[in-house]
Amino acid sequence: MKKTLSITRRKFLKRSASLGLGGLAFAYFVTPSALGKSGSVAPSNRITVGCIGVGIHGISVDLRGLLAQPDAHVLAVCDVDTEHRNNAQEITNQNYNNKDCASYNDFRDIIARNDIDTVMIATPDHWHVPISLAALKAGKDVCCEKPTLTVLEGRILSDAVKRYGRVFQTATEDRSIAVYHRLAELVRNGRLGKLKAIKVTLPDGNDIHGPYAKPEQQQPQPVPKGFDYKMWLGPAPYAPYTPARCHRNFRWIFDYAGGTLADWGTHLIDTAQWANNTERSGPVEVEGKGLFPTEGIYNTPYDYHLKYKYDNGVTLFVDSGGTGIRCEGTEGWLESSAWRRPLQAEPKSILDSQIKPDETHLFTCTGGEHRNFLDCVKSRRDPYFPAEIGHRCSTVCHIGNIAMLLKRKLKWDPVTETFPDDDEANRMLSRTSRAPWNSYFI
């Protein structure tokens, strides 16, 4: 009697990666029920996940989003804050009605586990690329929150994804939201005639949480018990601990993030690049003005007005004071005036336009970033917001910050990803990482 061939999803992925097999081979060997399409998923065919960074967003969006997927199995959580990881561990164990979820302080403990196929990263921005690189080198697929910290880090990340042949999702929901998918698809198919301008508004202010707005409330304090502040800083420059620096407030400090422009910009500027068909390149010029805090530890702009030019003639305006996007062409305009607001257009007939079978249909997944990521782990195709496109979108934000800091117009070469003949600006495309974390970029 012949032996029955049995192969788990994990073994198959490793074997197919080594042989260079694509999604077609995977679909041929694995049954629909093993992929979760019938509602029944064998444990050996679930995609195992380790969640790194389980603060507010890491739990409410990412962990809960993955726990809702029948073909995902969260095996471990990690956070430098004991309260955060204990909370995430409890939520995970309650979901599976067991006590199997491991809890770690150091992300390397998750990376080292051979039984974990993928990682979900929701740390502060300055950790996004180093942890992603470690996971990619270990053969794991990655879903990581946006944005990158610098232009150079984004380029290193995108190249590493290709080098190691892994799946990488830049985790945002926008491309799965019908309003933004529809807007980009209508513009890409010429419903506005020739596209001339895109106007994006993003929230203003540094949305500081807790009593930390005044400089006297940002003074150094003892590190609280259960918080590994040294690991939280990681590759960032040393700075004394203050609660005003960490958790939800890290975003307003350039050492760890890029302010509201880089945070919200990675949402709506991506839709602008999608609509403009420049998602894998970028603008050729940027200028703008910003207002920056003059005292205290927060230093990202709280008010900004930017103008980008593309070589196809389109101008992108990015202004603080909203959450909208408007596209203007030679034959009309189309906009969502605020976050997820229904589309408006002139002429109104644009809204009823049907995209024909032979026209451009933009890739999306209505189930969101986590569903799309898991599907692509199986098919081995790029998710809807892969590393290269995420990097290009973050780059638009980063060079905007650089232009405001230097207070002058800058030329940008999206091919070489440099400012031509501008050493001062080019030095701002990267930052020095502290040892030993700088070795992750080699």
> Given a cut of 80, is residue 362 above it in pLDDT?
yes
Domain boundary among 174, 195, 226: 174
Looking at the fold, whether 205 and 116 belong to one and the same domain comes out as: no
Looking at the fold, whether 95 and 32 belong to one and the same domain comes out as: yes
Q: Does the residue 122 lie in any domain?
A: yes
> Given a cut of 70, is residue 329 above it in pLDDT?
yes
Give the pLDDT confidence score for residue 208 in this predicted structure.
Answer: 94
Q: Across residues 243-268, what is the average pLDDT? A: 97
> Given a cut of 80, is residue 27 above it in pLDDT?
no
Amino acid in the structure at residue 25: A
Structure confidence by residue, pLDDT tens digits, 76-89: 999 999 999 999 99
Looking at the fold, whether 353 and 306 belong to one and the same domain comes out as: yes
> Given a cut of 60, is residue 33 above it in pLDDT?
no
Q: Does the residue 73 lie in any domain?
A: yes
> Given a cut of 50, is residue 32 above it in pLDDT?
no
Give the pLDDT confidence score for residue 441 in this predicted structure.
Answer: 86
Pick the residue with more confidence: 99 or 4? 99
Q: Does the residue 340 lie in any domain?
A: yes
Give the pLDDT confidence score for residue 355 in this predicted structure.
Answer: 98
Looking at the fold, whether 262 and 167 belong to one and the same domain comes out as: no
Looking at the fold, whether 259 and 112 belong to one and the same domain comes out as: no
Structure confidence by residue, pLDDT tens digits, 1-24: 333 333 344 443 444 443 333 333
Looking at the fold, whether 402 and 278 belong to one and the same domain comes out as: yes
> Given a cut of 50, is residue 337 above it in pLDDT?
yes
41 confidence band (pLDDT: 50, 70, 90): confident
pLDDT averaged over the chain? 92
> Given a cut of 90, is residue 52 above it in pLDDT?
yes
Q: Does the residue 146 lie in any domain?
A: yes
> Given a cut of 60, is residue 28 above it in pLDDT?
no
Q: Which residue(s) pair with 402 in the sheet?
A: none
Q: Does the residue 52 lie in any domain?
A: yes
- With a pLDDT cut of 70, the percent of the chain lying above it is 91
Identify the domain containing residue 190 by its residue range.
177-209+252-361+397-441
Looking at the fold, whether 327 and 349 belong to one and the same domain comes out as: yes
Q: Does the residue 22 lie in any domain?
A: yes
Q: Does the residue 231 lie in any domain?
A: no
Looking at the fold, whether 261 and 409 belong to one and the same domain comes out as: yes
Give the pLDDT confidence score for residue 199 in this predicted structure.
Answer: 98
Spatial distance between the Cα atoms of 378 and 371, rounded to a whole number of angstroms: 11
The CATH number that applies at residue 205 is 3.30.360.10
169 confidence band (pLDDT: 50, 70, 90): very high
Give the pLDDT confidence score for residue 137 in this predicted structure.
Answer: 98
Structure confidence by residue, pLDDT tens digits, 286-314: 999 999 999 999 999 999 999 999 999 99
- Residue 291: C-alpha distances to residues 49, 259, 294, 305, 307 (Å): 41, 12, 9, 9, 15
Give the pLDDT confidence score for residue 40 in this predicted structure.
Answer: 60
Q: Does the residue 283 lie in any domain?
A: yes
> Given a cut of 90, is residue 244 above it in pLDDT?
yes
Give the pLDDT confidence score for residue 45 in this predicted structure.
Answer: 83
Give the pLDDT confidence score for residue 17 in this predicted structure.
Answer: 42
Give the pLDDT confidence score for residue 298 in this predicted structure.
Answer: 97
Looking at the fold, whether 170 and 181 belong to one and the same domain comes out as: no
Nearest partner of 283 among 251, 315, 247, judged by Cα: 315
Give the pLDDT confidence score for residue 29 in this predicted structure.
Answer: 33
Give the pLDDT confidence score for residue 442 in this predicted structure.
Answer: 75
Looking at the fold, whether 115 and 191 belong to one and the same domain comes out as: no
Structure confidence by residue, pLDDT tens digits, 407-426: 999 999 999 999 999 999 99
Q: Which of 8-12, 167-171, 187-191, 389-393 has the lowest mean pLDDT?
A: 8-12
On whether the CB atoms of residues 381 and 23 are closer than 8 A, the answer is yes
Sheet strand arrangement including 141-145? 102-104, 72-78, 47-52, 118-121, 141-145, 168-171
Give the pLDDT confidence score for residue 2 in this predicted structure.
Answer: 35
Left if phi > 0, otherwise alpha if psi is -120 to 50, otherwise beta: which for 25? Answer: alpha
The CATH number that applies at residue 86 is 3.40.50.720
Structure confidence by residue, pLDDT tens digits, 107-139: 999 999 999 999 999 999 999 999 999 999 999
Looking at the fold, whether 115 and 183 belong to one and the same domain comes out as: no
Looking at the fold, whether 167 and 181 belong to one and the same domain comes out as: no
Spatial distance between the Cα atoms of 99 and 399, rounded to a whole number of angstroms: 46
Q: How many domains does the chain have?
A: 2
Domain boundary among 174, 200, 228: 174
42 confidence band (pLDDT: 50, 70, 90): confident
Domain boundary among 157, 174, 191: 174
Strand pairing class (141-145; 168-171)? parallel
